[in-house]
Amino acid sequence: MIRFKFSKETGLLCLSLLLITSHAVAKTNQRIISVNGTITEIIYSLKLENQLVAVDSTSYYPKEATSLPNVGYQRTLTTEGILNFKPTQVIGLESAGPVATIQNLKDAGIPVTLFSDDFKLETPTYRVLEIGKLFGKEKEAITLAKNIKEQIQKINIKKTNIKVLFIYSRNPSSVFISGTGTAAHAMIELSGAKNAVNEFSEYKPLTSEALVKANPDIILMPEKSAIGFGGEKAIWEINGMNLTRAGKEKNLILLDDLLLLGFGPRLPIALKTLNDQWKLIE
């Protein structure tokens, strides 16, 4: 099993992303509620955290965000849970909901900004620039976006024929694999590998037949998902896994959920980490 650990190189990259925003100064006095982990990460990167009054449960990076009041999961928000904090701005992704809650907030006169769930190389820089405009941090946002773009260009992604199967599960009775049109599919392709399943879009329940047919070289899972599923031993005990190359060679990559699927400022780190692992296993 391969677990992601910060190397000297990735550590320098993180430091670089932090240093370029170290001189930012808040220009407004808003009461922001972020209902998405990636958005929260960008808010911290732009040094707007002093205006952040609450976050959702996916906002665990940086660690300081976990000390803020929590309004629950981004897809199951409640109107009262949000309004209790008297926000002047709610910000997240289009997946935030339910729809009734979002509409109630708008009806109450709360500005709500929800970005599209895009999974492109340009997604982090777009979100950074838009959030910079929204909160008067244009200059800092331009610098951060430029840095992210340059780091992606430096990675020099090498294409491989490695077949990767992304598995998502919170418990052993509910296991899904990713087809096309998902953040997982985009990350596999952008990092130079191939999705082991392309016959369908979005997510479908995992079957032993589909697993054997896909015959992945590597299993890729978010860390929290792997823990919820029961850990590495449970993964190898999935029916049919022992007939795949991934199962025979115990090729498993676990990566932090937000880093892997967030398409935020750390996208260059995630892409480099995955591409390095593909090359090692190829």
Q: What is the pLDDT of residues 200-233, one digit of tens each?
A: 999 999 999 999 999 999 999 999 999 999 999 9
Q: What pLDDT score was predicted for residue 170? A: 79
Q: How far apart are CA 214 and CA 250, in angstroms?
A: 16
pLDDT digits (tens, 9 = 90+) for 104-134: 999 999 999 999 999 999 999 999 999 999 9
Instruction: Report the chain's C-alpha Rg in angstroms.
Output: 19
DSSP class of residue 157 equals: P
Tokens of 187: 């990350």
CA-based nearest residue to 147, from 46, 260, 43, 276: 46
Q: Is 129 exposed, middle or buried (0-12, 13-18, 19+ CB in 10 A)?
A: middle
Q: What pLDDT score was predicted for residue 21? A: 42
Assessment of whether the complete model's pTM goes beyond 0.75: yes
